[in-house]
Amino acid sequence: MSAVLKVLLLGFLLRNAHCEVFSVSLPEQMEALRGSCLTIPCSFTIEDKFKNDLKSGCKAKWIDVSDKNQDVVFTRPTTGDLSQKNCTTTVHDLTEQQSPAVYFRLECDNPLKYSFQETQLKINVNDAPPTPTLTPPTLSVREGQSVSVQCSAPVQCLSLPPTLTWSPVLGHIQETLQEQEDKTYVKVSTLNFTASEPKTRLTCSAVYSRDDGTNVTSDAQIMVIVICELLFVKYVP
């Protein structure tokens, strides 16, 4: 290949390297609590020729994958800033009657209208909240040793995150909100204490709220076993 052709090819590749296409980033599957809300992390790209059409007049719609009429599934969503290509959406009052799989559609009051049907989100609506996860699942320590136990629970709705409580409260508690690879969040509560009792049953409770103000709770337990060190003394005459 001549030097001129190589330069032309390189210029073409560089020019098209920054070209965007219609695409959307969504989790493949999400769990939701019946009667509560769900925050769907969502971001998208559009073709470059439509970049000036992405304005305040745009709307986000979530469509049943089986509905050819493209009827909207969620009737009361609150959506992120679409002008910044943020389609993160919080939907309320989820019921089992709603579609288990949806896709995102962008509609603006101009030529920019697109259905991202190639990427679908499956939503499982459950009657019970998820069980928190304890790390480590079992624990054997020495007497007087510093202990750290973590309790984590999925944040299904950012406006109604779960409340995590420990019983008994043996020491200092620190809470954080951690973002996952799929842009969902997990609430983590870390309990730090000094082991003293021979056996301690720790319970972490995750309280989830519904949109009507009622709460549901799920628990996880761990047994902390203290191993006493034995001192052997050999008598030397």
Domain spans of the chain, in order of start: 19-126, 133-227
> What six digits make up the tokens of 221?
């337990």
The residue assigned the tokens 């969902």 is 184
Q: Does 3.40.190.170 match the CATH number of domain 19-126?
A: no
CA nearest to 157, candidates 40, 35, 34: 40
CA quadruple 54, 182, 72, 69: dihedral sign: positive
SS3 at position 170: coil
CA distance 223 to 198: 10
Are the beta carbons of 40 and 89 closer than 8 angstroms?
A: yes
Are the beta carbons of 211 and 93 closer than 8 angstroms?
A: yes
Do the domains spanning 19-126 and 133-227 agree at the CATH topology level?
yes
pLDDT tens, N- to C-terminus, the chain (237 residues): 554 434 334 444 444 445 789 999 999 999 999 999 999 999 999 999 999 999 878 999 999 888 777 677 876 678 889 999 999 999 988 887 666 789 999 999 999 999 999 999 999 999 999 999 999 988 888 888 999 999 999 999 999 999 999 999 999 999 999 999 999 999 999 999 998 888 889 999 999 999 999 999 999 999 988 886 554 444 454
Which amino acid is it at 210? R
pLDDT, position 72? 78
Query: How many angstroms from the chain centroid is the CA of residue 215?
Result: 20
Q: Quick one: DSSP state of residue 161?
A: P
CA distance 85 to 43: 6
What CATH number was assigned to the domain covering residues 133-227? 2.60.40.10
pLDDT, position 233? 47
pLDDT, position 3? 47
Other CB atoms within 10 A of residue 180 CB:
12
pTM for this predicted structure: 0.82
pLDDT, position 235? 47
Are the beta carbons of 202 and 166 closer than 8 angstroms?
A: yes
> What six digits make up the tokens of 90?
């919080």
Q: Which long-range contacts (C-beta less than 8 Å, at least 24 apart) are formed by 74-80?
A: 74/98, 74/102, 80/42
Could you tell me if residue 203 is left (phi over 0), alpha (psi between -120 and 50 degrees) or otherwise beta? Answer: beta
pLDDT, position 229? 58
